[in-house]
Structure 1
């Protein structure tokens, strides 16, 4: 069992067979910063960097949170608020894509209407389908925001 976060990180990195430079490449965290963390010259990284390390090293996020000494409930909520919030532009883009999907569904129905498993879909079923598609669109937008390189992210 490791006694500090730097040792924990180094153990996880070594168990994956990664060099510091490889981990830096996979996470976008500088090799110098990773080295300082591993050598105890820096405290545990911010929550967003813990997520990157967790993903790169294929270790559950909660384990990284515990090792870094964070209270999971507080920091997970902070992480969600920072990275799962959709901007006004995101909302507008989603609305435009959903309108296009709605139009495509209506135009593509033909004589028989929109079918599911060979049966015509009711208006309620169509609305349910659109709600599910909107949910999927929102999730995809959130996920793409999380993994976009920092240099392409705009300040909110």
Structure 2
């Protein structure tokens, strides 16, 4: 686990080819099973992630959220199969306008051979404005979250 002032990352070697790992990450319906916090509840948009700018929404739950249940809108920033995928997380306003808080998730995949992939998961909040930092703590989860997520991903791609 590597923690910087503005981001946190974790790396794990996964017993699966990079293309298989990438396919799981590009499928929003798997994100609930991958999530290490238990906050991700379901994929609202179920289409595979295929291009930068694509938006996918997730149903969430957090006991500290004013509504408990809420929805996030994610916008794909990087999609480079089978090497990298990332998205900004934000919300959709009542008028349909998307608003992002300045944090993003990124997975970098490095093939280690035909059946192993080194996966690095990074959560970066370097672009979060001070106005948001006044009421949200970053990162909003413990450091074990990224490791748990990578282990969940490893279990999912290996079928165990």
Fold shared by both chains (TM-score > 0.5):
no
* TM-score after normalising by structure 1: 0.23
The TM-score normalised by the length of structure 2 is 0.23
Max Rg structure: 1
Higher relative contact order (CA 8 A, sep 6+): 2
- Higher strand proportion (structure 1 or 2): 2
Higher helix share: 1
